Structure 1
Amino acid sequence: MQDVLTRTWEAPEALLARLDAAARRLETPCGEGSMAWRVWGEGEPLVLLHGGSGSWRHWTRNIGPLSRHRIVVCPDLPGLGESAMPPPAETPAPVAAVVREGIARVLGAGTRYDLCGFSFGALLSGHVAAQAGEELRSVTLVGAGALGLKRQVTELTKVRSLEGEARIAAHRHNLAALMFADAARIDALALVIQEWNTRHARFQSRGFASSTSLKDAIARARCPVALLYGERDAIAWPEVELRFQALREVQPEAWTGVVPGAGHWVAYEAAETFNAMLPDMLRRRTGR
């Protein structure tokens, strides 16, 4: 299976199709429909929660390497990708409860796992951690907002009414403005992922980003916590250290780290570094 997962020379659509076909696919309840899950590999479970307006495809460059030694579990979060909308909620907590129940159904109640969330997925990870018991072994937050700190305004181009070259140009602009530190690293695969994610996104998560929702939730976590940013993450730069300080106010023992030269979508832009750093962090904090 690993051969299938690591053929990075393929055309983007073919690579994504092969990765999808290699997964075990499951569904769990979500609102009036279901939440879609994909699972790869064998070993200790590692659950990855993607970012806002995204899907499991945010982890395209990580699934193969991480699943060499882990069960990698990637859902499409409620209202995104192939998953149904969650019940109406004014806070992330009820959405996180849907995710937590889904994890229990996919892995089996009481199965211990590590959790890693990116951006909106980091926010939901914090709320899952606040609700979880001993089954949650650790939580890693990547590119997290909602720590009670202001961020620079990121001007994004609306793509809904665009098609053809204009739509591709808008995707490239948005990826450069928000997701990448170096626009030269925006490749065909990133554009294909962005296009698919944008067309399937319904749940609006940006309103949570300027709150203290994550900070308040992660204060109640009873497992080891880590926070990771790309050095030039658009939602944190140039005040990354203030985010670390905000986390340590509620989790003094939290591990923090920076990936040099990377932006918000650090797991894609600096995939090789991220794929080495995350397992090392987990070994240091959990011994696994």
Structure 2
Amino acid sequence: MLDSAPHGSSPEWSNHAAFAPVAELNREARRTEVATEEGFAVWREWGTGPALVMLHGGAGSWSHFFRQIRFFAQNYRVIVPDLPGFGDSADCNRDAEPHRMARILAAGIDRLVETERFHLVGFSYGGIIGSFLARLLAPRIDGFVIVGGVGFEARRNDVNLSSWRRISDTEQRRARHRDNLLAIMIADPGRIDETAILIQQSNAERSRHDTRPTARTKPLTANLDATRIPLAAIWGERDQLAVPYFDERRAWLAARDPDACFKLIEDAGHWVQYEAADAFNAALTDCLRSFAERADK
């Protein structure tokens, strides 16, 4: 299992000054808890307009999109759940079964989006869960953007993370979270600010599920081959999991959708939407625009 916060521990990150912008954005959200017989998910919404559903990565929460929400809420209704087993949502089940996660999320979309069509964005593990969700809701999805995609046949790098679980000292614990950011999320150490560290800490210490078994089954290909929805993909060119195998990713995407946008963002790692937010926001805007242009043909 992944590390989880020790029982009874206080969230040392919650009142830190560098976490205040995240807390403020959380307060601005319209929050809804959608329960099903299989569990509940907590959803947050900002803005109005066409629905843009964003799924965070493993050991994450809605805050993986901290630097996207206000930007896209100018033109979209941005809807971001905490995936089951992460953040404020309930545990899914012991094995984090992805079909169950997808059903819980589908119930939330039925509640919040109703019959409206929507765009879907999935970051890392969120792309895997998004592919299971797409099998349930494909006719309603105008396009699916995979960010830092995992869980398919292209070669990837193994990344070793450091355990923070038994560290009681606040600064040492936070330093370990910074180490893990550099190992798997952010390529340039100069871009690891205090807010990034605290987002990483808050997410990791509330995470209850191990995403690796699902990723190892490489379900993305089969799921997307079964849906054939419009696709796009964005990677950081220094993505710790993907570099240097981007030609394989480009070919994989083109085989699923020859018209798909493929974006590589310079000098950014796996958590590309945080490390290079302006470039990422422009790239995602292009991807969403491409879906609309294809629909008009």
Fold shared, TM-score > 0.5 on shorter chain: yes
**Counterpart in the other structure of 2:163:** 158
Unaligned runs of 5+ in 2: 1-15
Q: Secondary structure at the match of 1:200?
A: coil
1:113 corresponds, among 118, 121, 127, to 118
How many angstroms apart in 2 are the aligned matches of 1:178 and 1:143? 11
By relative contact order (CA 8 Å, sep 6+), the higher-ranking structure is 2
One-letter amino acid of the counterpart of residue 269, structure 1: E
Asked whether 1:81 is paired with 2:87, we answer yes
One-letter amino acid of the counterpart of residue 116, structure 2: T
RMSD: 1.8
Q: TM-score, normalised by structure 1?
A: 0.91
**Counterpart in the other structure of 2:7:** none
C-alpha contact 2:154 2:245 (8 A) present in aligned 1: no
1:125 corresponds, among 125, 130, 138, to 130
**Counterpart in the other structure of 2:146:** 141
CA 194–139 in structure 1, closer or farther in 2 if over 3 Å, else same: same
C-alpha contact 2:60 2:204 (8 A) present in aligned 1: yes
**Counterpart in the other structure of 2:208:** 202
Q: TM-score, normalised by structure 2?
A: 0.88
C-alpha contact 1:232 1:261 (8 A) present in aligned 2: yes
CA 216–205 in structure 1, closer or farther in 2 if over 3 Å, else same: same
Aligned length: 278
**Counterpart in the other structure of 1:251:** 257
How many angstroms apart in 2 are the aligned matches of 1:72 and 1:102? 14
How many angstroms apart in 2 are the aligned matches of 1:73 and 1:130? 19
> How big is the shift at 1:88?
5.3
Unaligned runs of 5+ in 1: 1-9
C-alpha contact 2:47 2:74 (8 A) present in aligned 1: yes
2:228 corresponds, among 212, 222, 225, to 222
How many angstroms apart in 1 are the aligned matches of 2:94 and 2:162? 27
C-alpha contact 1:49 1:122 (8 A) present in aligned 2: yes
**Bigger shift: residues 218-227 or 232-241:** 218-227
One-letter amino acid of the counterpart of residue 157, structure 2: Q
One-letter amino acid of the counterpart of residue 77, structure 1: L
> How big is the shift at 1:162?
1.2
> How big is the shift at 1:262?
0.6
> How big is the shift at 1:213?
0.5
How many angstroms apart in 1 are the aligned matches of 2:36 and 2:64? 21
> How big is the shift at 1:112?
0.7
Sequence identity (%) = 37
How many angstroms apart in 2 are the aligned matches of 1:258 and 1:96? 28
C-alpha contact 2:49 2:76 (8 A) present in aligned 1: yes
1:66-102 CA deviation, whole Å, 9 max, x = no partner? 1011100010000000001124557523322221221
C-alpha contact 2:263 2:283 (8 A) present in aligned 1: no
C-alpha contact 2:31 2:43 (8 A) present in aligned 1: yes
C-alpha contact 2:272 2:280 (8 A) present in aligned 1: yes
